Amino acid sequence: MSDIGDWFRSIPFITRYWFAASIAVPLIGKLGLVDFRNLLLFPEMVFSRFHIWRPVTATLYFPITPNTGFLYLVNLYFLYHYSTRLETGSFDGRPADYIFMLLFNWICIVITGLLINMQLLMIPLIMSVLYVWAQFNKDTVVSFWFGTQFKAHYLPWVILAFNFIIGGSFVNELTGNLVGHLYFFLMFKYPMDLGGRAFLSTPEFLYRFFPNRRGGVSGFGVPPTRRQAPQDNAGGFGGRHNWGQGFRLGGE
């Protein structure tokens, strides 16, 4: 047990709490401690009865059944693996920037879920993180099922196609990929590569709660360097700019 505890404590702290909550909340639903229907995202319950916890629990909950258990474990691995790599790589020493990325992606996914009645949001948020990692590590060669190898740039779309083949649905993965692309485009691609205005930035209060740490990026993908534009005085990554169907539950 000490080995498991040491491993758990070695996970970077943002990923650690996200990973732990993504285990605890499904177990709470599985054990019947809380009616699992109270953990899902239903727009009418959010707006009519003010069940404001549902956008959070729907992001952490996943039904654990014989039919969905493997999919849950695969996505739990994706969460641990790619969130850890981002937090200790491109966002190393910048916890506020990583939290802001998660918050931005989560808000976009919740809005999408409310619009299209997507009841479970775990996979879209994990896929959005995986997509951002893939953008930072485009040329990294990754391995997939049966030893297939390709550049990381294609990984989010390979997972989308694979899940469509085996499960017949791709809306969760597509939602996550599109949200991840939106974040990466607004935060990096548009202002840095295209010289446009910076529409996204980490709010100042997050830096007060989660100040940057010294140490630098540890190697798993490096954020792009901002191109200086005449109208842009906000700085680069981590600067303080101006704010500018998925998997439907069929039953337990």
Residue that wins the pLDDT comparison between 219 and 241 = 219
> Given a cut of 50, is residue 88 above it in pLDDT?
yes
Give the pLDDT band of residue 248 (cuts 50, 70, 90).
very low
pTM for the model stands at 0.83
**What does DSSP assign to residue 50?**
-
pLDDT > 90 fraction of the chain, expressed in percent and rounded = 65
Domains of the chain (ranges plus CATH)?
Answer: 9-209 (1.20.1540.10)
| Closest CA relative to residue 94, chosen from 233, 191, 187, 174 | 187
> Given a cut of 70, is residue 234 above it in pLDDT?
no
Residue 37: per-residue pLDDT: 95
| Closest CA relative to residue 178, chosen from 131, 228, 140 | 131
> Given a cut of 60, is residue 150 above it in pLDDT?
yes
Tell me which of 16-25, 32-41, 222-231 is least confident: 222-231
Residue 230: per-residue pLDDT: 37
> Given a cut of 80, is residue 245 above it in pLDDT?
no
- Per-residue pLDDT of 34-64, as tens digits, reads 999 999 999 999 999 999 999 999 999 999 9
Give the pLDDT band of residue 163 (cuts 50, 70, 90).
confident
Q: Letter for the amino acid at 178?
A: L
The stretches of the chain forming alpha helices (DSSP H) are 2-10, 13-30, 43-48, 54-60, 69-88, 95-116, 122-136, 155-167, 171-184, 204-209
Q: What is the mean pLDDT of residues 27-38?
A: 95
Residue 223: per-residue pLDDT: 56
> Given a cut of 80, is residue 251 above it in pLDDT?
no
Residue 199: per-residue pLDDT: 87
SS3 of residue 251 by DSSP? coil
Give the pLDDT band of residue 224 (cuts 50, 70, 90).
low
